[in-house]
């Protein structure tokens, strides 16, 4: 009897030893077939069907390659369309019944830059500040700056809110960076010794430009920056007053990027005026536009050009440059964004009484609610549903006439459109009026490069590569319009990926999208998820007393006390999966572009068995591949794990449904070693010791 079989795989006639599975045969051919339930150490199971291939001979059909043995004359296709669709369908179905977060919600849904918050809090709680800072820098190169200015969308999705209050996250970045500073930091990673020789010019040294320079340097490219201001920082420095971001902090982190990473920067050099844009294009392998959106948008009302009427962004810039600004005693600010809030709060600090007029309601304000709250605390009078219609001279001062508004149905931006309330006209006397209703980008310096009807560039997909010139890229506010600094930074990290792809001759697609399982928004989560956590208190950061904020630009948020911050870091519920980096379900879902939301319907719920000191069972993440059951039975010969229930309710459980700690489990880890996801995992401490030593 021959012990070889002749088969046809993907059209090729091949010979294998009898008894070889299709999976093993594919391996020898260099074809990687995804598997979940299969493990070489264990008996065949054929449960997950992710390893499906198509058998075109005999009974034929879709077969699990892990346990189908080659037979003489067998014809197999390893990766045809039907096979790939089947694998995706299997993953779609498994994900539809997988209750877990690969990444914590703060990371995947809250932070625009996807900072590993859970990770840095963990390191911080163990006093590993340098490591924590560099974990932040993997996504954002300014932990200290963003720790102060970011409005913390992360905290809004923090699940700790289901226990007591959100973890204090934003401020921790500042604390980590300050602790690193005490240790002599910031310690940025070092760029490669050898340059790629590729020259990238970055126009604008704001948050986007500096961040792009950071990531481009770490990829070994040479970076030259042009900045029209005498210092770097862009809107961070010239748009955010020092009471929110002290200049030494900006100096520290901006300088670190430029000096530690070796970036050439030309200050006080305005492209289009001091240096020609076309020449830059000629002399660079790639050019990034990161000039922000710093030109105030006029409102178009009468009297806007009168003396005593300023733009908010100009006032903030002048204050940042320590220029003398005299606003008088009565200041009216028009607008509802961050610039309006900061202009009003700056006016208060200069001794004025400030009034904000905004045409929509407070809910529609673009400024973060914390900023609105702080402005109000400082005595700013905020008049919503109030729209200026004209500005006139009035004695020595000015008079701004407004009408009251009411909200009608939502417009295309989704915000309810304000309409004038008839006969509601009134006026406010003011010494100066600050217009802060919007900002845009002045792209006049690019001359012949087309900008679209909104005055911005069109880009290809998620690549940030402009459609007008493949070597021209765009990021930050000059791409998005005025937005959060953290979003500009996230853009910059992604554009650096694109530029790197462009410079290395790869397809320019930007940063790879990242698969993450998600169990649902706060309101949809079951209470048992939070049952193990005791309610406590959130340590709020001390603020400079309101009466001490006038006459100075001292930072409002006070120093963080180290013990408080350590306690805060430990409040993290650690929603993100501990083994996401080795999870096969996640890996395949990423590759096959699986869709967790394709099938809506019933889903398993949160259920854990954390009774055992070493082995943790997370039934809500289990995909019923039974690898743990087989490992326990076949490798360890123990039979501790088994199945309960039937159909959709089938679950893995320790024998007799007992807590694992009450079985004779000795923590041999055989089950953990074969689990393709986090159904059975090690206690985190044990896991980290194993992975990181």
283 contacts 304 by C-beta, under 8 angstroms: no
Decide: is 68 part of the binding site for another protein (CB under 8 A): yes
CB nearer to another protein: pick between 47 and 481: 47
Shortest gap between Cβ of 656 and another protein (angstroms)?
A: 14
Q: Which of 5, 94, 146, 154 binds another protein (CB under 8 A)?
A: 94
In the complex, the smallest distance separating the C-beta of residue 47 from another protein, rounded to whole angstroms, is: 5
Residue (53 or 333) nearer to another protein, CB: 53
Output the DSSP codes for 248-307: HHHHHHHHIIIIIHT-EEETT--BTTTB-HHHHHHH-SEEEE-----EEPP---BTTTST
Select from 5, 7, 23, 48 the one that contacts another protein (CB under 8 A): 48
- How many residues belong to the site for another protein (CB under 8 A)? 36
Could you say whether residue 33 binds another protein (CB under 8 A)? no
Minimum CB separation from another protein for residue 601, in Å? 4
Pick between residue 145 and residue 585 the one whose CB is nearest to another protein: 585
User: Using CB under 8 A, which residues numbered 548 to 607 contact another protein?
Assistant: 599-602
Does the protein bind another protein through residue 631 (CB under 8 A)?
no
Stretch of residues binding another protein (CB under 8 A), selected from 64-72, 253-261, 273-281, 428-436: 64-72
**C-alpha to C-alpha distance for 166 and 60, rounded to whole angstroms:** 55
Nearest alpha-carbon partner for 29 in 69, 68, 79: 79
> Which CB, 537 or 649, lies closer to another protein?
649
According to the binding rule CB under 8 A, does residue 375 interact with another protein? no
Q: Which is nearer to another protein, 96 or 211 (CB)?
A: 96
Nearer to another protein by C-beta: 2 or 649? 649
Closest distance between another protein and the C-beta of residue 60, in Å? 10
Cβ 45 to another protein shortest distance, Å: 8
Contact characters 196-215, another protein, x per CB under 8 A: --------------------
Q: How far apart are CA 607 and CA 629, in angstroms?
A: 18
Burial of 591 (0-12, 13-18, 19+ CB in 10 A): middle
> Of 68 and 439, which CB lies nearer to another protein in the complex structure?
68
Least CB distance to another protein at residue 105 (A): 24
Q: Which residues of 266-288 are buried (b: 16+ CB within 10 A; e: fewer)?
A: beeeebbeeeebeebbeebbbbb
- Spatial strand order in the sheet of 615-618: 608-609, 615-618, 680-682
d(CA 269, CA 494): 26
CA–CA separation, 584 vs 572, rounded Å? 26
Using CB under 8 A as the binding rule, whether residue 52 contacts another protein is answered as yes
Q: Which is nearer to another protein, 67 or 590 (CB)?
A: 67
Nearer to another protein among residue 531 and residue 602 (C-beta): 602
Select 3 or 282, whichever has its Cβ closest to another protein. Answer: 3
359, 336, 369: which is closest to 407 by C-alpha? 359
19 binds another protein per the rule CB under 8 A:
no
User: From the list 14, 31, 62, 275, which residue makes contact with another protein (rule: CB under 8 A)?
Assistant: 62
List the one residue out of 326, 298, 231, 218 whose CA is nearest residue 263. 218
Owner of token pair 């006026």 = 427
Please state at what angle helix 117-125 crosses helix 129-137, rounded to 10 degrees.
170
Residues numbered 640-669 forming contacts with another protein, rule: CB under 8 A: 642-643, 645-650
Tell me the closest approach of the beta carbon of residue 144 to another protein, in angstroms: 47
624 in contact with another protein (CB under 8 A)? yes
For the chain, what's the residue count? 693
Q: Please identify, among the stretches 67-75, 362-370, 538-546, 668-676, the one whose residues bind another protein according to the rule CB under 8 A.
A: 67-75
Q: Alpha carbon of 52 to those of 38, 42, 75, 111, 591: distances in Å?
A: 12, 18, 14, 37, 15
* Binder among 35, 96, 118, 497 for another protein (CB under 8 A): 96
Residue with tokens 């970045």: 173
The torsion of the CA quartet 485, 573, 678, 687, rounded to 10 degrees, works out to: 100
From the CB of residue 121, how many other CB atoms can be counted at a distance below 10 Å? 27
Instruction: Tell me how far, at minimum, the Cβ of 520 lies from another protein, in Å.
Output: 17
Reference 207, options 476, 482, 483; nearest CA is: 476
Q: How far is the CB of 49 from another protein (least distance, A)?
A: 5
Binding region for another protein (CB under 8 A) out of 42-50, 359-367, 377-385, 410-418: 42-50
In whole angstroms, the minimum distance from the beta carbon of 97 to another protein comes to: 5
In the block, tokens 């046809």 appear at 8
- The whole-angstrom separation of Cα 365 and Cα 525 is 29
d(CA 224, CA 159) in angstroms, rounded, equals: 42
Beta strands at 608-609 and 615-618: parallel, antiparallel or unpaired:
antiparallel
We find the least distance from the C-beta atom of residue 650 to another protein, in angstroms, to be 3
Q: Exactly one of 31, 75, 93, 420 binds another protein (CB under 8 A); which one? A: 93
Single out the segment in contact with another protein by CB under 8 A; choices: 93-101, 143-151, 152-160, 271-279: 93-101
Q: Which stretch of DSSP H or E encloses residue 180?
A: helix 170-182
Kindly write down the DSSP assignment for every residue of 459-475, as one continuous string.
Answer: BSTTS-BBSS-TTEEE-
- The smaller minimum CB distance to another protein, of residues 62 and 280, is found at 62
From the list 23-31, 48-56, 164-172, 426-434, the region that binds another protein by CB under 8 A is: 48-56
What x-and-dash track marks residues 73-92 binding another protein by CB under 8 A? -------------x--xx--
Q: Which 3 state secondary structure label does DSSP give 376?
A: helix
Count of C-beta atoms within a 10 Å radius of residue 82 = 13
- Residue 662: CB atoms within 10 Å: 12
Tell me the C-alpha to C-alpha distance, in Å, between residue 663 and each of 205, 302, 612, 655, 673.
61, 81, 9, 7, 19
Rounded to whole angstroms, what are the CA distances from 63 to 86, 88, 377, 501?
Answer: 11, 15, 67, 38
Q: Is 626 in the site for another protein (CB under 8 A)?
A: yes
Kindly tell me which of 80 and 444 has the beta carbon lying closer to another protein: 80
In the list 30, 61, 423, 523, the residue contacting another protein (rule: CB under 8 A) is 61
Q: Measured from the CB of residue 93, what is the shortest distance to another protein in angstroms?
A: 4
Distance from C-alpha of 310 to C-alpha of 437, rounded to nearest angstrom:
12
Residue number, 68 or 387, with CB nearest to another protein? 68
Closer CB to another protein, 92 or 342, in the complex: 92
Please identify, among the stretches 61-69, 338-346, 485-493, 505-513, the one whose residues bind another protein according to the rule CB under 8 A.
61-69
Counting contacts by CB under 8 A, is residue 284 touching another protein?
no
- The contact set with another protein (CB under 8 A) reads 44-50, 52, 61-62, 64, 67-69, 86, 89-90, 93-94, 96-97, 599-602, 623-624, 626, 642-643, 645-650
């Amino acid at each position: 009897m021959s012990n070889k079989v002749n088969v046809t795989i993907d059209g090729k006639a091949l010979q294998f030893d009898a008894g070889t599975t299709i999976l093993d045969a594919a391996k020898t051919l260099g074809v990687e077939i995804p598997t979940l339930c299969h493990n070489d150490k264990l008996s065949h199971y054929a449960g997950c069907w992710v390893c499906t291939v198509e058998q075109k001979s005999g009974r034929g059909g879709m077969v699990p390659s892990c346990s189908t043995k080659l037979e003489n004359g067998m014809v197999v296709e390893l990766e045809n369309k039907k096979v790939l669709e089947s694998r995706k369908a299997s993953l779609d179905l498994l994900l539809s019944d997988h209750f877990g977060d690969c990444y914590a919600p703060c990371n995947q849904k809250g932070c625009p830059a996807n900072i590993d918050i859970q990770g840095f809090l963990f390191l911080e709680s163990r006093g590993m500040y340098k490591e924590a800072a560099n974990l932040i820098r993997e996504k954002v190169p300014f932990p200290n700056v963003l720790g102060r200015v970011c409005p913390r969308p992360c905290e809004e999705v923090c699940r700790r809110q289901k226990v007591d209050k959100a973890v204090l996250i934003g401020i921790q970045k500042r604390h980590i960076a300050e602790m690193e500073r005490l240790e002599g930091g910031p310690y940025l990673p070092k760029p490669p010794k050898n340059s790629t020789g590729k020259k990238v010019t970055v126009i604008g040294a704001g948050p986007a430009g500096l961040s792009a320079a950071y990531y481009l340097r770490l990829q070994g490219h040479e970076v030259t920056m042009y900045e029209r201001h005498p210092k770097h920082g862009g809107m961070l420095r010239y748009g955010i007053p020092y009471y929110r971001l002290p200049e030494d902090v900006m100096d520290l982190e901006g300088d670190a990027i430029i000096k530690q990473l070796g970036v050439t920067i030309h200050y006080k050099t305005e492209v289009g005026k001091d240096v020609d844009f076309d020449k830059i294009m000629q002399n660079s392998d790639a050019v990034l536009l990161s000039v922000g959106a710093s030109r105030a948008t006029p409102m178009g009302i009468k009297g806007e050009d009168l003396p005593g009427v300023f733009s908010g962004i100009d006032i903030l810039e002048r204050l940042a440059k320590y220029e003398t600004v005299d606003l008088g005693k009565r200041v009216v600010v028009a607008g509802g964004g961050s610039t309006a809030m900061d202009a009003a709060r700056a006016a208060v600090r200069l001794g004025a009484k400030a009034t904000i007029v905004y045409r929509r309601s407070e809910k529609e304000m673009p400024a973060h609610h914390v900023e609105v709250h702080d402005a109000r605390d400082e005595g700013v009078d905020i008049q919503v549903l109030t729209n200026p219609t004209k500005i006139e001279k009035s004695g020595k001062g000015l008079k701004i006439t407004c009408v009251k508004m009411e909200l009608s149905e939502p417009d295309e931006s989704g915000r309810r459109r304000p309409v004038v309330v008839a006969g509601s006209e009134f006026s406010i006397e003011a010494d100066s009026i600050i217009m802060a209703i919007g900002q845009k980008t002045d792209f006049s310096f690019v001359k012949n490069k087309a900008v679209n009807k909104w005055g911005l560039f069109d880009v290809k997909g998620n690549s940030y590569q402009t459609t007008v010139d493949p070597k021209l890229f765009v990021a930050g506010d000059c791409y998005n319009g005025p937005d959060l600094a953290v979003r500009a930074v996230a853009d910059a990290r992604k554009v650096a990926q694109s530029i790197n792809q462009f410079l290395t001759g790869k397809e320019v697609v930007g940063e790879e999208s990242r698969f993450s399982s998600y169990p649902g928004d706060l309101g949809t989560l079951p209470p048992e998820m939070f049952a193990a956590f005791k309610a406590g208190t959130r340590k709020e950061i001390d603020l400079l007393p309101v009466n001490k904020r006038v006459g100075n630009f001292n930072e409002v948020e006070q120093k963080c006390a180290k013990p408080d911050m350590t306690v805060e870091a430990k409040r993290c519920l650690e929603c993100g999966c501990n083994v996401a980096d080795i999870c096969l379900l996640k890996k395949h879902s990423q590759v096959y572009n699986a869709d967790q939301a394709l099938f809506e319907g019933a889903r398993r719920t949160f259920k854990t068995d954390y009774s055992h000191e070493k082995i943790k069972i997370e039934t809500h993440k289990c995909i019923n591949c039974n690898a743990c059951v087989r490992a326990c039975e076949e490798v360890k010969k123990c039979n501790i794990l088994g199945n309960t229930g039937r159909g959709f309710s089938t679950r893995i459980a320790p024998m007799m449904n007992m807590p694992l700690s009450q079985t004779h489990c000795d923590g041999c880890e055989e089950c953990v070693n074969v689990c393709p996801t986090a159904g059975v995992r090690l206690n985190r401490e044990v896991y980290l010791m194993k992975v990181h030593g």
